[in-house]
Structure 1
Amino acid sequence: MKKDNYKWIALSCTTIGALFSVLSGSTLMIALPVIMKDLNASMNVVTWTIMGYMLAMTILVPSIGRMADMVGRKKLYVSGFALFTVASLLCAISQTGVQLLIYRLIQAVGGSLMVANSTAIVADAFPKKELGKALGINSMIISIASVIGPILGGFLINVGWRSIFYINIPIGIIGTLWAAFQLKETSVLSEKQKFDIKGTLTFSTGMLALLVALSFGGFIGWFNFAVIGLIAVSIALLWWFVRIENKTEEPMLDLRLLKTRVLAFAYASNLLNGVARGAVTFLLIFFFQGIKGIDPIVAGMLLAPMAISMMIISPISGYLSDKYGARILSSVGLLVSAIGLLGMMFITSTTSVAELVIWMLIMGIGSGMFFSPNTSAIMGMVPANKRGVAAGVRTMATNAGNVLSIAISMAIISSSISPDAMQALFIGTQVGSEGIAIGQFVSGLRMAFTISFIFSIIAAVISYLRGPEPVWSQEENAA
């Protein structure tokens, strides 16, 4: 098989995986109210079917990326596809909310195996000068899935919520077989490598404590004893993790990825962008349902403009980053996102849907300008034998930012809305402003969007301040 043909085949494999995992998540969000009633599940269990998946992905992806650098990306990617497919079947036949939660966590392991390897597989297959274009196409497909997901979910609810998981099975079987027969191991694997078990366990436990604390902080208060205790434990464990990695010959996470200014700033801008935009759709769903009284499925569809503009811009920005570099495009993209957030900072109870659509379009353009070039910069700057963990850290930074963003927003919103109204709005069983202090609620939204705007500006500055490319050893570059 010619290398030129193989790169497009590799991209098709990872694109099916991206479409698969994003569609699964976006269709499920719409179905939560129906699932809650049918399985007689509690609010906590239903919430954790979403949050648990996100937390598991954030924690697992870096260590799986390191494992892929050791044993090969194809094996883990195909295994992830197969596991995700089997877990979809288990989710479809769940009889209780707890069963669904457990099977979703199994799905998260499969999703982590796919996500940790997909970007690295593309980076292995494409030459550096075409990497931005390839990643832009991947981002475009993810955006398409974000647009289609709520619409498909609304249609499938009429068939039955279990069909949301059943539809994954034929796609999963095709994707697994296509990847198994078409993907190749293109990176040269070093022999007799050791897996850093001590570092992996310390990192995973520390990240779990931190993310659970951030998740619960918005619900039960930031000064709750349990939240403070978890944050203290996470700081101690992550500090110990850094000490372990500095003394280990073959660490789980090569800290040069974070010590090198250009990579550290690219990762930091990824994290801050996650904080800036992670809760935007979450907040707008509350506004559309709680203030405008719009049906949950229609409210989900109204978020499409952000994904559509991102879908159009992502491949273009990826192509341009191959020609002109990532620094300016990424930084300008974050500034454009900030303009969209600036518009949302002045939201009122009478703000029209049309006006919000304009701000969402601008945010989508900015996000499309940022993601592909920034990812291309990260993946193009590391040697082949570091791409798995480099991609894993990038995904972890984005997901951690999203979790923090939602936690901050929950803390702000919970002060202006009754617990019953929040629960009803969150799962879509209430449409309208009953139980909401509208003035306080809108002020809370403004505060949340203001914080997001500030983080987006900081992210733009950090993105622009990235320095020269890192210097790796000849052995690492040869790999």
Structure 2
Amino acid sequence: MFMSALDGSIVLIALPAIFNGIRLDPLAPGSIAYLLWMIMGYRLVQAVLVVSVGRLGDMYGRVRIYNAGFAVFTVASVLLSFDPFLGAHGALWLIGWRLLQAVGGSMLQANSAAILTDAFPAEQRGFALGINQVAALAGMFIGLVAGGLLTAWDWRAVFWVNVPVGIFGTAWAYRKLRETGQRGGGRVDWWGNATFGIGLSALLVAVTYGLQPYGAHTMGWTNPLVLGLGFSGIALLAVFLLIETRVAAPMIELSLFRLRAFTAGNLAGLAISIGRGGMQFILIIWLQGIWLPLHGYDYIDAPLWAGIFLLPLTAGFLLAGPVSGYLSDRFGSRGLATWGSILFAATFVGLILLPTDFSYWSFAVLIALNGVASGMFGSPNSSSIMGSVPARQRGAASGMRSTFQNSGTALSIGVFFALMIAGLASSLPDALNTGLQQHGVSAAVAHQVAGLPPVATLFAAQLGINPIQHLLQPTGALSSLSAGQVADLTGRQFFPHLISSAFHDGLVVVFAVGAALALLAALASALRGRPRPEKGKA
């Protein structure tokens, strides 16, 4: 679980080194699509597949599917680390094998919680699932640090790191794991799988392309392709729900949603997942594109230091996660999950109040508390969901829980990014045009550069690139300026100062939405009810 989740986030912070390693110009036309697919493709596949492979685990054995997932994940990791191409072909190689890696990760993620629920009695299940959830979320958080550290050595190392773990894990799983749970039998719901997989894929792909510029628009939400995919996805998911009420062996047991703890836990998990995933993305842009350059760090070193400065987030989670799992066994899940959600919302409010050029210790305390809040929520919420379902349906239930979590993470990047781009679009072009002309750039060149889509500016900030130098060099504008003007424009201060005001406006909107989602999770957690006493061992 740690390895599967690690790969969901390690690439996020390693993208500057990856783009540099395969010699792909991040501001060239088409590069935005490659970057978005590197970030979102892994989550998209996991969101689509986890329910299906969880159901297959119920039918044919959870350990069997889990073991196969380890093998698939390891093979894909090996292939990723030997990318033979450069440029666009190199990007396509990475995207393709990342999608296969996500297939293996889905098989691990969908069945791990079900295997543990089968193996542990009710009074120990919270602690066991807590360790599993800690491993998953720790992988997500530690990936942010590991990506920075490993890319300081070699960009391929972010994929190498999985290979020895994968080889050992595959051999260990086949040798040691044994089936202890019930198999549900039945048949594969082919129509349900097809409509769910294609529908959710279409919806998430629409979000991916909706973030890219279209014509004269800063984003692509009016693009006929995006509209067609979005409406088709919604229609197919509606057909899927209809199918599930009529087939003998449905892919998703809709009856599970009659269980209040199951429904409330998944709703709360979706809300927290959207807030957490988007927050991580925005924090990386904030550090790499603005705060670190303003404090004297070179753009090329920004990924490493961003990972280091995010360590309090990881530490807070690792401290609270196991403790919360243990406490949920003794005192129940509802209170811990509810107060964890409330603390999560409070940290978003604190981040809103920080200036763009913040004092690091204030920032460190807030993200550490955010990590504590994630730990307080994660283990009890998983225990509540898995403990509420019948034993024969735990594979499907675990897959559904993972689908909500992965869909939330994929959607979070789309939602938060769209809000941030909308905020930048209203003020960044004028600020860029005025700032360049004040430093001696001609009006024609300044207007051309200011026409850069805001999404490209955000990606430049995330990738640790100074887009001013990158964009002005081909125009020849720098050759007509004084040495002092060139130094100001291409130094560490100009671009971060230029976007900081517009960026903070976007931060307020983004973190306000995050706080509202956390409060929604708190409400759902408070209303989940008390668990029913379990009869016998699972």
Length-normalised TM-score, structure 1: 0.90
Q: Which range moves more in the overlay, 257-266 or 444-453?
A: 257-266
1:121 CA displacement: 1.0
In 1, Cα distance between equivalents of 2:132 and 2:37: 28
Give the structure 1 partner of residue 150 of structure 2.
156
Contact 1:147/1:301, CA 8 A, preserved across alignment: no
Give the structure 1 partner of residue 97 of structure 2.
103
Give the structure 2 partner of residue 121 of structure 1.
115
Give the % identical residues.
38
Alignment of 1:78 onto 2:114 = no
Alignment of 1:384 onto 2:391 = yes
| Equivalent in 491, 495, 505 of residue 434 of structure 1 | 495
| Paired letter, 1:115 | Q
1:140-190 deviations in Å (ceiling 9; x for gaps): 334544454344434433442223323322211110111111111111224
Give the structure 2 partner of residue 12 of structure 1.
none
In 2, Cα distance between equivalents of 1:428 and 1:109: 30
In 2, Cα distance between equivalents of 1:478 and 1:27: 38
Structure 1 residues 169 and 341, CA, compared in 2 at 3 Å: closer, same or farther? same
| Paired letter, 1:110 | G
Q: What pairs up with 1:353-372 in 2 under 5 angstroms?
A: 353-372=360-379
Contact 1:216/1:407, CA 8 A, preserved across alignment: no
Give the structure 2 partner of residue 59 of structure 1.
48
Q: What pairs up with 1:244-263 in 2 under 5 angstroms?
A: 244-263=243-262
Give the structure 1 partner of residue 129 of structure 2.
135
| Paired letter, 1:366 | A
Q: What pairs up with 1:410-449 in 2 under 5 angstroms?
A: 410-415=417-422, 416=424, 418-430=454-466, 434=495, 436-449=498-511
Contact 1:203/1:237, CA 8 A, preserved across alignment: yes
1:248 is paired with a residue of what secondary structure? coil
Contact 2:151/2:304, CA 8 A, preserved across alignment: no
| Equivalent in 35, 38, 43 of residue 49 of structure 1 | 38
Alignment of 1:459 onto 2:442 = no
In 1, Cα distance between equivalents of 2:327 and 2:494: 45
Give the structure 2 partner of residue 89 of structure 1.
78
Structure 1 residues 325 and 185, CA, compared in 2 at 3 Å: closer, same or farther? same
In 2, Cα distance between equivalents of 1:265 and 1:187: 25
Give the structure 1 partner of residue 350 of structure 2.
343
Q: What pairs up with 1:201-240 in 2 under 5 angstroms?
A: 201-219=194-212, 220-240=219-239
1:270 is paired with a residue of what secondary structure? helix
| Paired letter, 2:266 | Y
Give the structure 1 partner of residue 182 of structure 2.
188
Structure 1 residues 303 and 165, CA, compared in 2 at 3 Å: closer, same or farther? same
Which has the larger Rg?
2
Alignment of 1:270 onto 2:277 = no
1:303 CA displacement: 1.7
1:231 CA displacement: 2.2
| Paired letter, 2:155 | W
| Paired letter, 1:439 | S
Give the structure 2 partner of residue 3 of structure 1.
none
In 1, Cα distance between equivalents of 2:506 and 2:17: 29
Contact 2:259/2:388, CA 8 A, preserved across alignment: no
In 2, Cα distance between equivalents of 1:255 and 1:93: 43
Unaligned runs of 5+ in 1: 1-17
Give the structure 1 partner of residue 4 of structure 2.
21
1:7-65 deviations in Å (ceiling 9; x for gaps): xxxxxxxxxxx222233344333332222223234342233122101100000001111
After superposing on structure 2, the runs of 4+ consecutive aligned residues of structure 1 that deviate more than 6 Å are none
Give the structure 2 partner of residue 8 of structure 1.
none
2:106 is paired with a residue of what secondary structure? helix
Alignment of 1:297 onto 2:304 = yes
1:201-236 deviations in Å (ceiling 9; x for gaps): 001111111212233333324344333322211221
Contact 2:145/2:304, CA 8 A, preserved across alignment: yes
Structure 1 residues 269 and 437, CA, compared in 2 at 3 Å: closer, same or farther? same
| Equivalent in 312, 319, 339 of residue 312 of structure 1 | 319
Contact 1:290/1:433, CA 8 A, preserved across alignment: no
Contact 2:14/2:303, CA 8 A, preserved across alignment: no
In 1, Cα distance between equivalents of 2:229 and 2:532: 35
Structure 1 residues 71 and 348, CA, compared in 2 at 3 Å: closer, same or farther? same
In 1, Cα distance between equivalents of 2:384 and 2:170: 29
1:121 is paired with a residue of what secondary structure? helix
Contact 1:23/1:149, CA 8 A, preserved across alignment: yes
| Paired letter, 1:33 | P
Give the structure 2 partner of residue 394 of structure 1.
401
Give the structure 2 partner of residue 30 of structure 1.
13
RMSD: 2.3
Q: Which range moves more in the overlay, 55-64 or 341-350?
A: 341-350
In 2, Cα distance between equivalents of 1:142 and 1:263: 20
In 1, Cα distance between equivalents of 2:20 and 2:318: 34
| Paired letter, 1:252 | M
Give the structure 2 partner of residue 14 of structure 1.
none
Structure 1 residues 144 and 62, CA, compared in 2 at 3 Å: closer, same or farther? closer
Unaligned runs of 5+ in 2: 25-30, 85-89, 213-218, 429-453, 467-491
Q: Which range moves more in the overlay, 36-45 or 55-64?
A: 36-45
In 2, Cα distance between equivalents of 1:31 and 1:350: 24
| Paired letter, 2:130 | G
1:253 is paired with a residue of what secondary structure? coil
In 2, Cα distance between equivalents of 1:314 and 1:73: 25
| Paired letter, 2:116 | V
In 1, Cα distance between equivalents of 2:143 and 2:80: 18
Give the structure 1 partner of residue 240 of structure 2.
241
Contact 1:23/1:145, CA 8 A, preserved across alignment: yes
Q: Which range moves more in the overlay, 461-470 or 363-372?
A: 461-470
The total of aligned residue pairs comes to: 458
